[in-house]
């Protein structure tokens, strides 16, 4: 009986520790070796999936209209993340430059790299095409567009109730080395928001949560 009781305690303890062991952020143990000479990063348009209700799909012009909206959202996240990184660079909080997204997108278009073609290319190929040392990419999933001004306050999920937030989503940000293609860093964040936030505020709030674990940050201790 005593052994059964101890076993039960161990199971409960393990289940209690499980959430704490879930890693939202991954940093490659090879980061310092691979990124020591990095000078410039490029941020790609984010691959976006909007999980809209049927009436919202109709309101936005059907499946074709939703695809246009998803592309716009992906560009919005790209621009917001670049703006955040540029601000941190100007404040000397990070030690790498960020390529202007207008140049990034122009180079992609000039070389015929559509969103469909992009997923068939390696990070090494994209980095060479863009002339950068590292590539920032990612995905965004949401039940509502961020760029339409409909949302109002951001609440990052922390395992508790969302307090009536009306929109849920998920943002994944990855950084790959341009020479080897190796994944250097990945941030996987679920989020919920009510009405009024825009893309810039969402990205800023999310990145602030990761600031000390962002590998190019001066605060990074990994």
CA distances from 210 to 12, 19, 217 (A): 30, 18, 10
User: Can you give the pLDDT of all 222 residues of the chain as single tens digits?
Assistant: 444 333 333 333 333 333 333 358 999 999 999 999 999 999 999 998 888 888 888 888 888 888 888 899 999 999 999 999 999 999 999 989 999 999 999 999 999 999 999 999 999 999 999 999 999 999 998 877 776 544 433 344 433 333 444 457 889 999 999 999 999 999 998 876 543 357 888 888 888 888 888 999 887 755
Residue found by looking up tokens 């250097």 in the block: 184
Q: Is 170 exposed, middle or buried (0-12, 13-18, 19+ CB in 10 A)?
A: middle
23-140+171-188+200-213 CATH choice from 1.20.950, 3.40.720, 3.40.50, 3.30.450: 3.40.50
| Torsion-angle region of 142 (φ positive above 0: left; ψ -120 to 50: alpha; else: beta) | beta
For residues 125 and 34, the answer to whether their CB atoms sit within 8 Å is no
């Amino acid at each position: 009986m005593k052994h059964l009781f101890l076993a039960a305690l161990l199971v409960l303890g393990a289940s209690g520790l499980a959430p704490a062991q879930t890693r939202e952020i991954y940093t490659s143990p090879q980061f310092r070796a691979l990124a020591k000479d990095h000078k410039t990063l490029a941020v790609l348009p984010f691959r976006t999936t909007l999980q809209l209700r049927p009436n919202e799909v109709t309101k936005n012009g059907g499946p074709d209209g939703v695809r246009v909206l998803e592309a716009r959202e992906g560009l919005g996240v790209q621009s917001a993340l670049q703006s955040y990184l540029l601000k941190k660079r100007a404040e000397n909080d990070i030690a790498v430059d960020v390529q202007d997204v207008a140049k990034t997108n122009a180079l992609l278009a000039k070389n015929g790299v559509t969103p469909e073609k992009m997923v068939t290319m390696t990070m090494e190929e994209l980095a060479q095409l863009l002339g950068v040392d590292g590539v920032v990419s990612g995905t965004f999933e949401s039940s509502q567009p961020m760029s339409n001004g409909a949302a109002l306050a951001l609440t990052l999920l922390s395992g508790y109730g969302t307090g009536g937030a009306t929109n849920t989503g998920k943002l994944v940000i990855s950084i790959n080395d341009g020479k080897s293609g190796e994944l250097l860093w990945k941030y996987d964040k679920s989020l919920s928001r009510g009405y009024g936030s825009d893309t810039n505020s969402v990205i800023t709030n999310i990145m602030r949560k990761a600031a000390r674990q962002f590998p190019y940050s001066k605060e990074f201790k990994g």
